[in-house]
Structure 1
């Protein structure tokens, strides 16, 4: 039987480039992989001149965004096209990080026969409630992201997109951001990670919930990150519990790593070994 190809879907403000260390680790273990740039990301992303140094915050607030009008359905359609092409060469393991989990769910709902396994890495997996409902839940109350509204560089309703200033010099915002995404990293790793992020993200994260008849047929793994302060472990566990209640005959295969939200991208060795074990199993 042909070995599977890992297809990676990034989270908010990110791109395919952040998966390069993971892909290197998997290649060294003999595994094929492909990382997707969702529409409006990667070399299709908007990087206004006002975002550079020195920054012009007034101009940054009004510079048009290429991602305005792009939403969840566009992400799902794009990844579906990629998965269809990859599936011609063998099995597919579709992996999503953070907000990328919403796209995984959409693909699983639409085309369960094209995906051999879904892997959510500290990722959104909505089944019993909407994304907004989970966001407002008690399980998400401790997220450090609630204290990062100051990163917004524009009015989302006026811009038609979320725009974040990852290059802020505000020490309090930077300290909170580090707590949220990479508390277990070095200074260089943290700032290096920030420089992979893109200012703009789609306003439309979708309202899609997993469908038991389609998505629910696909084998799935959830990689819990117990030191995640961005997507709290309580919320990760609720995603798992709600999904297992939806399809009790096809429950999550649960794995756990004691690392932060972005550590799996910056230091991918342990995660790559875990993903490789899914091929062997």
Structure 2
């Protein structure tokens, strides 16, 4: 039995990962999905959301969160799981959750047995995750019309998962929830704000600390949020930073929400 700690991506929560948790549990493992601060059952919403005019420009209640706040929250769970003689947990992170996992492993590599990135950010050479979104490899990404307000003013990357406009909902589904039959239900469970710190803060990954943890990357071949070329760029930069623990890489014929579209395949790859 292995212990898997599942870390969600932007606007998501632990509930979005329940399918993957179920598949891992059915294979005899322990799976714990976390709600990062401001998400899922710990959600906090901008004033007026979702009905009052002007809410897209309201300051985010998540604006004060730092990357170390989020990584520290994850590390609190990992310390609680730390037992003498027991195998260290595998941290499985999706999308922007990869930034949190990277920072946590840099701060306390001894608490992490393995890092698994599911179509996730793994910022190294260029610094913050936002720098990778400015590369040519990110040019194929969709979803530009989804973002609301001025992030510099709100302190968040903001979407409206409750918007009923058909074009907006289609772009949300096709970018982040590709090919899912229950895409609308999953979209309604999203929260509107992602703390800006996740794009703007360098997790400062080093070969000696973060790079001492074995790591694996599960690529999404049909990803429209993090195009495959961008995933490959981050993999190559990570391997250049810490070549001794180069990524083990697998590819799934999936969109960005591979945790929901291919939970059994992921569980087979990770836990047998």
TM-score (norm. length: structure 2): 0.91
TM-superposition CA deviations, 1:208-258 (whole Å, max 9, x none): 232101111111100001011110000111111111122222211111101
- The answer as to whether partners of 1:140 and 1:235 remain within 8 angstroms in 2 is yes
> Which moved further from structure 2: 39-48 or 104-113?
39-48
- The answer as to whether partners of 1:45 and 1:200 remain within 8 angstroms in 2 is no
Deviation at 1:266, TM superposition (A): 4.4
Of 209, 224, 232, 1:229 maps to 224
Within-5 A mapping of 1:179-198: 179-186=174-181, 189-198=182-191
1:112 is matched with 109
**Structure 2 gaps, min length 5:** none
2:19 is matched with 21
Within-5 A mapping of 1:72-91: 72-88=67-83, 90-91=87-88
Of 128, 131, 151, 2:125 maps to 128
Give the total of aligned pairs.
Answer: 267
CA RMSD of aligned residues (A): 1.8
Separation in 2, partners of 1:63, 1:168: 17
Counterpart secondary structure, 2:245: coil
**Structure 1 gaps, min length 5:** none
1:203 is matched with 196
- The answer as to whether partners of 1:21 and 1:266 remain within 8 angstroms in 2 is no
> Which moved further from structure 2: 41-50 or 262-271?
41-50
Counterpart secondary structure, 1:144: coil
Separation in 2, partners of 1:102, 1:84: 19
TM-superposition CA deviations, 1:123-161 (whole Å, max 9, x none): 00011112232110011110013x22x441x44333333
Matched, 1:8 2:3: no
Deviation at 1:73, TM superposition (A): 1.1
Matched, 1:241 2:213: no
1:139 is matched with 137
Separation in 2, partners of 1:210, 1:62: 33
Deviation at 1:43, TM superposition (A): 2.2
Separation in 2, partners of 1:57, 1:14: 24
